[in-house]
Structure 1
């Protein structure tokens, strides 16, 4: 401890007492002062972004350790995504911009005048800066918008689909690509341009096996009976875990069922979730898995974050954490073992304001699976405080 001086030996309880109530910016700063302080203070994630009084809000409360102070948000702002500590925000006055809530820095993007009005989700590369950013937007049903530093325009790519619609995007940080998922489970890959190439390339995941102009056939890629379920579950999301690609399907229409060709009945209860893994070495290449190998995934408008549950006191292993957009955006957790979804109850002292709606999960880093788990230990008494901004 000598190189850091006597402050490194500050008693843990006293250090926690001092840190309690600090702004998030100052909290993260003192965690980085020395190894002893970093070990004593829990990292402030994962967290829930919540909005007061509906989706259009002039205030932005958070459920997390400490508080964030953002004075630049205007009334009628919409949150379109979060990734690596930043938010994508849409404003009636500013269009779409990226916001770092720790510093207040904004990256204003060009308005998307030629891709329709509906932009439900935005993903972007880590650590965006005004002089270095990459942004991808899901827009208008079957279009992908892409822009990069100094492009001075949005590149709009139409994805040819036979009465299908895009449902989700996921930015693969390690692979340098964006996976685009449709409502029927078809996957397209947007390859991020490098070098002098500015325009992105979008192609089907199984481009070599696809005949141009032939509609997507779920029976060719999903094992039975999930090729039928792919058409009946419109809530779908995609994520990457340890180099493998996964889909999350959720039934939002009440209990559904159908007879199997070989006999018997297959059914899905409301809010039941299936997780499918992509295996290019088999045919069909997508099949349901029963667990995530001890990991859990947080999905929603945020770029999906995969967490190793071991050592985290309030994160269950092999679970899907999601937000129920039908009932005041309640945070939920689906246990892959019990096959049930239940409301996600935050730890003691973490109270969500009754008028607040969860918008998305907030993480300081999306690349959680490859980091040292000891740095992400969250004790049970960490206080996640709701603060008005």
Structure 2
């Protein structure tokens, strides 16, 4: 075959057939990065691409501030490096975008599938969006807990909202970038908020007691509680996460952790987990325990949570919960190369099996791809794929 073959000039029908035979989302990324013509074909098939979503990790490469995607399905690092300014810290991953904040509390949205190593971050809204700084009087930088987008800024540039949990008391702030010039801060008397999710056109938060607070995006109304039937003790669990199931149910994942000390070094390890389903009963809303999640796999952590049908992805364990260490987002990515203590906090990463009720940790020394750093975010492919250069 001639080395000068015009691959970019293949008939679109043939390119479509090739695209249909690709086995994984990572193959789509590489396919779209080959040339402009193939990138356009992938873009036209974006709905199918999104239907194949699966969790990924953000991991650092050997070069400082250079990151890449790690495919759990393919069990390998993807050749898609991107660069994030060293002053930024990851505080979330939502709708396929990474959320970072810098020393001045300026919040940025970055599309990792459009960031190319060596390319300057510009003002292209498909790649990089800068928001006003978070500037509440009580906020401490390393206490910005979570940032969630209501929609993808690329597909809904005029109609998306961003909500953040911040400060020691876990207050709430929100902004609609297309019309707001600053964040709106919500002072509340709720308990400490553990998690935040955008679910069925509303934001839902959960506090340490298992109480649900919901926020109506349409009229920006707040302070509404869903009355929870407390027939179970939810307060003994250290962390709570909200995640939407593959069939659209709202699940609560509880993670119980205990401290273990080895000399002067402490490890906060996962000892167990439970899953609850939010149901509307005759007396109101209540949590119903789920003993078995079947063919689902849940991926939870304080930066983002999601669920998949495990059988759709080779290597993904069914009836299991994948946990990422909650201490990771308190650390700067640039600290990790110099500060060994940052690495010690990644001990609590692994998989909890719902059937055996056992937790299997990942060993940093044996698997430096999964656990190459303390800052990992699961992402879902956004509607803008990796562009050819």
Calculate the TM-score normalised by the size of structure 1. Answer: 0.68
- Paired with 2:102 and 2:135, the residues of 1 have a C-alpha distance of 14
Within-5 A mapping of 1:1-389: 4-6=12-14, 26=33, 29=39, 32=42, 45-51=54-60, 58-64=65-71, 66-71=78-83, 73-93=84-104, 95-104=106-115, 105-114=127-136, 116-117=139-140, 118-129=143-154, 131-140=158-167, 141-148=169-176, 149-161=178-190, 164-172=191-199, 175-193=200-218, 197=219, 199-206=220-227, 221-223=229-231, 226-227=232-233, 230-241=234-245, 242-253=247-258, 270-282=270-282, 285-325=286-326, 327-328=345-346, 331-343=349-361, 352=369, 355-364=372-381
- Paired with 2:382 and 2:97, the residues of 1 have a C-alpha distance of 10
- Displacement of 1:160 in angstroms is 1.6
Contact kept, 8 Å, 1:79 with 1:89, in 2: the verdict is: yes
Secondary structure, in 3 states, of the residue corresponding to 1:107?
strand
Secondary structure, in 3 states, of the residue corresponding to 1:251?
strand
Distance 1:286 1:84, change over 3 A: same
Contact kept, 8 Å, 2:97 with 2:110, in 1: the verdict is: yes
Calculate the TM-score normalised by the size of structure 2. Answer: 0.68
- Paired with 1:333 and 1:249, the residues of 2 have a C-alpha distance of 14
Distance 1:5 1:275, change over 3 A: closer
- Paired with 1:21 and 1:287, the residues of 2 have a C-alpha distance of 39
Contact kept, 8 Å, 1:234 with 1:249, in 2: the verdict is: yes
Stretch deviating more after TM superposition (143-152 or 42-51): 42-51
Gaps in structure 2 of 5+ consecutive residues:
1-9, 72-76, 116-126, 261-268, 328-344, 384-389
Secondary structure, in 3 states, of the residue corresponding to 1:253?
strand
Contact kept, 8 Å, 1:276 with 1:286, in 2: the verdict is: yes
Distance 1:312 1:335, change over 3 A: same
Distance 1:313 1:201, change over 3 A: same
- Displacement of 1:355 in angstroms is 4.3
- Displacement of 1:3 in angstroms is 7.3
Aligned residues: 314
Distance 1:94 1:232, change over 3 A: closer
Secondary structure, in 3 states, of the residue corresponding to 2:39?
helix
- Displacement of 1:125 in angstroms is 1.9
Contact kept, 8 Å, 1:122 with 1:138, in 2: the verdict is: yes
Contact kept, 8 Å, 2:271 with 2:359, in 1: the verdict is: yes
Secondary structure, in 3 states, of the residue corresponding to 1:338?
coil
- Displacement of 1:66 in angstroms is 3.0
- Displacement of 1:112 in angstroms is 1.6
- Displacement of 1:144 in angstroms is 0.9
Contact kept, 8 Å, 1:51 with 1:59, in 2: the verdict is: yes
Distance 1:295 1:66, change over 3 A: same
Distance 1:340 1:222, change over 3 A: farther
Distance 1:45 1:30, change over 3 A: farther
Gaps in structure 1 of 5+ consecutive residues:
207-219, 256-268, 367-389
- Paired with 2:273 and 2:214, the residues of 1 have a C-alpha distance of 24
- Displacement of 1:324 in angstroms is 2.6
- Paired with 1:183 and 1:356, the residues of 2 have a C-alpha distance of 28
- Paired with 1:21 and 1:312, the residues of 2 have a C-alpha distance of 15
Contact kept, 8 Å, 2:362 with 2:371, in 1: the verdict is: no
**Counterpart position of 1:210:** none
TM-superposition CA deviations, 1:330-385 (whole Å, max 9, x none)? 54211111111113699xxx86176423422122269xxxxxxxxxxxxxxxxxxx
